[in-house]
Structure 1
Amino acid sequence: MRFHTRKWVKPEDLNPNGTLFGGRLLEWIDEEAALYAIIQLENPKTVTKYMSEIDFRSSARQGDIIEIGMDVVTFGRASLTLTCEVRNKMTRESIIVVDRIVMVSLDEEGKAKPHGKTRIEYVKDRLGD
């Protein structure tokens, strides 16, 4: 799993229990999945279609630094399926796992648009030597 993004848990991210609000964490995951898919599919019109069951394994508190990891599960005709794990940067303890996030590439009319991708591409590969 490649961990791309770090977030610092601030007071506005907390629930009444004083731990990270699940909705805030899901917002961060959805944003990270969208950014990852947009870059991979090279289409800014990429949206979330599906997010599988989520499994909260632990929590985070104010001041914790968390990191969000994404990996590609599979490339579809017009989609990209990802898996995600969020962990505490300092303790490496897993906070949440999402087995499947399906992102879909859209055309100008909002219909699924084939992307032609079959493997992960890195910016350095696109730029050449």
Structure 2
Amino acid sequence: MRFHTRKWVKPEDLNANGTLFGGKVLAWIDEEAALYSIVQLESKKVVTKYISEINFMSTAMKGDIIEIGIEVIKFGTTSISLNCEVRNKMTHESIVTVDNIIMVNLDESGNPAPHGKTKVEFVKDRLAKKEKEGLS
């Protein structure tokens, strides 16, 4: 799993117990899944369709640095399925895991639309390919 984003747990991210608020970390997960999907599908119109069971395994405290990892499970015709782990950057202790997040590509009318992707692509590889095609 690749960890793409780091967050610094600040006072405004805490619940009444002084630990990381679950709703805050879920918002971060949803945003990370959307950003990852937008980059992979090369489409700005992507929405969350489904988030499976969320497993809160430990917590984070004010001042902790957490990181969010996303991994592709599979590409569907109009969707991409992901899993996610949030962990403490310094200890690598898992804070939250989500086994399945389904993101759907939309057309201009807001209907599911085929994206044509079948495998993970890295932006650097896309840019190199475009550069190579430009030289040909």
2:118 aligned residue? 118
Tell me by how many angstroms 1:102 deviates: 0.2
Pair 1:103 & 2:103 matched: yes
1:18 aligned residue? 18
Q: Distance in 2 between matches of 1:34 and 1:4?
A: 13
Residues 28-54 of structure 1: CA distance to partner in whole angstroms, max 9, x if unpaired?
Answer: 000000000000001100000000000
Residues 48-71 of structure 1: CA distance to partner in whole angstroms, max 9, x if unpaired?
Answer: 000000000000000000000000
Tell me by how many angstroms 1:7 deviates: 0.1
Pair 1:67 & 2:72 matched: no
Q: Which structure dedicates a bigger proportion of its chain to helix?
A: 2
SS of the aligned residue for 2:19 comes to coil
SS of the aligned residue for 1:27 comes to helix
2:34 aligned residue? 34
Tell me by how many angstroms 1:125 deviates: 1.3
Q: Distance in 2 between matches of 1:74 and 1:127?
A: 23
Tell me by how many angstroms 1:127 deviates: 1.1
Tell me by how many angstroms 1:97 deviates: 0.3
TM-score when scaled to structure 1? 0.99
Residues 62-118 of structure 1: CA distance to partner in whole angstroms, max 9, x if unpaired?
Answer: 000000000000000000000000000011100000000000000010000100100
Q: Which runs of 5+ in 2 are unaligned?
A: none
Residues 3-37 of structure 1: CA distance to partner in whole angstroms, max 9, x if unpaired?
Answer: 00000000000000000000000000000000000
Q: Which runs of 5+ in 1 are unaligned?
A: none
TM-score when scaled to structure 2? 0.94
Q: Distance in 2 between matches of 1:58 and 1:2?
A: 20
Q: Distance in 2 between matches of 1:38 and 1:88?
A: 25
Q: Distance in 1 between matches of 2:124 and 2:11?
A: 38
Q: Distance in 2 between matches of 1:105 and 1:126?
A: 20
Q: Distance in 2 between matches of 1:73 and 1:81?
A: 5
